[in-house]
Amino acid sequence: MSMKMFFADNAVQAEPQDVVVSDRFLDASGRPAAWKLRAISEELNEEIRGASTKRTKGKGSSGVPELDYNAYLGRMVAACVVYPDLNDAELQQSYGVRGASAVVRKMLLAGEFANLAAKVQEINGFDRDVSEISDEVKN
């Protein structure tokens, strides 16, 4: 078997997906506007996880790393949203916040954010385990 199938040039790139996140944001024709979502690499996911981890006091002098899941989820969602541009200063200013993860939380209702987060996790493969993929390959 050739190892070339695993080379970067041969990897199929995940295409961004259009998803309607909310029916409260309407396009010019009055239909709910689609958001564009992308998958992220494990390398970027690791950076986001690291930025969302803090040390808490443990026994002795060393702290224990603890993931702030809410911060992690907000950063991950923000990293996966291509459109609207959550880093746009005017967008952030219109909601009175700074930062992509802050503005997406401010823009959306609780259920809308939960649905967006679920879609982001799906796009990034968190909804599938290796046994499901193996079954697909067999068929």
Give me Rg for the CA atoms of the chain. 18
Between 75 and 4, whose confidence is greater? 75
How much is the mean pLDDT over the chain?
89
Global pTM reads 0.82
Q: What is the pLDDT of residues 17-58, one digit of tens each?
A: 999 999 999 999 999 999 999 999 999 999 999 999 988 876
d(CA 39, CA 129): 17
DSSP 8-state secondary structure symbol assigned to residue 117: H
pLDDT attached to residue 60? 66
pLDDT attached to residue 4? 87
Residue with tokens 């944001």: 25
pLDDT attached to residue 40? 96
Cis amide bond preceding 65, omega within 30: no
Between 11 and 21, whose confidence is greater? 21
Spatial contact of 47 and 65, defined as CB atoms under 8 Å apart: no
Q: Which domains does the chain have, with CATH numbers?
A: 33-127 (3.30.2220.30)
State yes or no: pLDDT of 72 exceeds 50.
yes
Between 11 and 138, whose confidence is greater? 11
Strands (E) located in the chain: 17-20, 34-37, 53-57, 63-67, 81-83
Spatial contact of 109 and 22, defined as CB atoms under 8 Å apart: yes
